[in-house]
């Protein structure tokens, strides 16, 4: 079952990385002794940029260096900014690209350790390190699908984030988005009902698994830590804790996450007086920001992101 595997990496599937990508990667130590691999693309090596754009990929088991959309589209959100990308636990540029969510060569360290919280912690640590050395005036976090949720988690835990842009990140609870994905998939009503029952049973198993059983949990390319974290994350509470400006973008024809759940979450935030949240929807676009004719509207959405940043005071 392919669950929320589409994010930035699904927008364009051709490889971006070249040999120099691995050469320019930098490392930062984690407390457990492992290393965080990250990449800082400086627009002008001879001049210090004022802004840093942190681009956060989705939930697939791929190197962030393979995401062509970062160069083809996302970089246009902040044309003068340097770009920071951070690999997930256990992944580096040597991992070939694959669109198979259950790929056999996915690093075991990734399956065992990757989670939303781990990614947010890694990003926070890397941003702190980069700011110590480069002193950017403004830092913007941008993510799609799972990357959107991670961007919100990062903004909630860090005062270093000036603004956040999140697209197609789902509603309050991950399980509701998965059930929406099942309902939107091909199949008979009976098949969908069985799939929903199976998903609810799997969620209960994850939440009640003994330490011994946790090691055996693996589904859609993710292990226990990822599943438990995804199921337990209350995105409404996360957004209530963030104070910096945030743009939430949701495609209205999204089959992977529930547009209705996103709208309900945003409504609750606005009712609670959260005026830092801006919501924008594209009624006819899907999870990959494609229209009914299959054509990508990513460029249009990116232009709207850039315009919102200017309105929010994030200007070169």
Residue 152 lies in a domain: yes
How many Cβ atoms sit within 10 Å of the Cβ of residue 210?
7
Task: Give CA–CA dist 278/280, Å, rounded.
Answer: 7
Per-residue confidence in pLDDT tens, the chain, 316 aa = 434 334 333 433 333 333 334 447 999 999 999 999 999 999 887 788 999 999 999 999 999 999 888 878 888 999 999 999 999 999 999 999 999 988 999 999 999 999 999 999 999 999 999 999 999 999 999 999 999 999 999 999 999 999 999 999 999 999 999 999 999 999 999 999 999 999 999 999 999 999 999 999 999 999 999 999 999 999 999 999 999 999 999 999 999 999 999 999 999 999 999 999 999 999 999 999 999 999 999 999 999 999 999 999 998 7
∠ at Cα 140 (135, 144), nearest 5°? Answer: 145
Residue 218 lies in a domain: yes
Residue 1 lies in a domain: no
Residue 316 lies in a domain: no
Residue 220 lies in a domain: yes
Task: Give CA–CA dist 41/64, Å, rounded.
Answer: 13
Question: String of b and e for 56-74 (b: at least 16 CB within 10 Å)?
Answer: bbbbbbbbbbbbbbbebbb
- Give residue 69's domain range: 8-311
Residue 212 lies in a domain: yes
* CATH code of 122's domain: 3.40.50.1820
Helices (H), the chain: 8-11, 19-24, 68-72, 108-113, 116-134, 146-157, 174-184, 189-208, 211-214, 224-232, 235-241, 259-271, 298-311
Q: List, in order, residues 6 or more apart from 196 with CB less than 8 Å away.
A: 179, 182, 183
Task: Give CA–CA dist 303/307, Å, rounded.
Answer: 6
Residue 58 lies in a domain: yes
Work out how many domains the chain is built from and give that number. Answer: 1
For the segment 233-267, what is each residue's pLDDT rounded down to a tens digit?
999 999 999 999 999 999 999 999 999 999 999 99
| CA nearest to 166, candidates 80, 269, 66 | 269
Q: What is the pTM of this model?
A: 0.91
97 close to 62: Cβ distance less than 8 angstroms: yes
∠ at Cα 180 (67, 199), nearest 5°? Answer: 95
Task: Give CA–CA dist 201/55, Å, rounded.
Answer: 34
Which residue bears the tokens 């996450």?
Answer: 257
Residue 60 lies in a domain: yes
Which residue bears the tokens 């942190």?
Answer: 54
């Amino acid at each position: 079952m392919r669950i929320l595997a589409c994010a930035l990496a699904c927008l364009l599937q051709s490889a971006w990385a070249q040999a120099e990508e691995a050469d320019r990667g930098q490392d930062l130590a984690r407390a457990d002794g492992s290393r965080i691999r990250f990449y800082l693309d400086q627009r002008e090596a001879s001049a210090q940029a004022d802004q840093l754009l942190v681009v956060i990929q989705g939930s697939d088991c791929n190197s962030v260096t393979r995401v062509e959309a970062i160069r083809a589209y996302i970089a246009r959100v902040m044309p003068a900014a340097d770009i920071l990308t951070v690999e997930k636990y256990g992944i580096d540029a040597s991992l070939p690209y694959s669109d198979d969510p259950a790929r056999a060569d996915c690093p075991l360290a990734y399956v065992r350790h990757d989670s939303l919280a781990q990614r947010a912690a890694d990003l926070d640590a890397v941003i702190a390190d980069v700011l110590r050395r480069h002193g950017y005036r403004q830092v913007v976090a941008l993510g799609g699908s799972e990357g959107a949720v991670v961007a919100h988690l990062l903004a909630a835990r860090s005062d270093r984030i000036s603004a956040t842009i999140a697209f197609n990140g789902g509603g309050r609870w991950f399980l509701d988005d998965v059930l929406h994905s099942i309902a939107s998939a091909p199949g008979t009503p009976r098949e969908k009902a069985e799939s929903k029952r199976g998903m609810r049973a799997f969620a209960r198993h994850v939440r009640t698994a003994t330490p011994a059983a946790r090691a055996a949990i693996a589904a859609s390319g993710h292990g226990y830590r990822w599943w438990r974290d995804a199921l337990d994350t209350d995105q409404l509470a996360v957004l209530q804790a963030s104070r910096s400006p945030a743009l939430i973008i949701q495609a209205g024809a999204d089959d992977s996450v529930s547009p209705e759940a996103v709208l309900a979450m945003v409504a609750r935030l606005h009712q609670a007086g959260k005026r830092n949240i801006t919501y924008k929807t594209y009624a006819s676009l899907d999870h990959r920001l494609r229209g009914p004719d299959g054509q990508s509207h990513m460029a249009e959405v990116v232009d709207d992101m850039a315009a919102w940043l200017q309105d929010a005071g994030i200007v070169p």
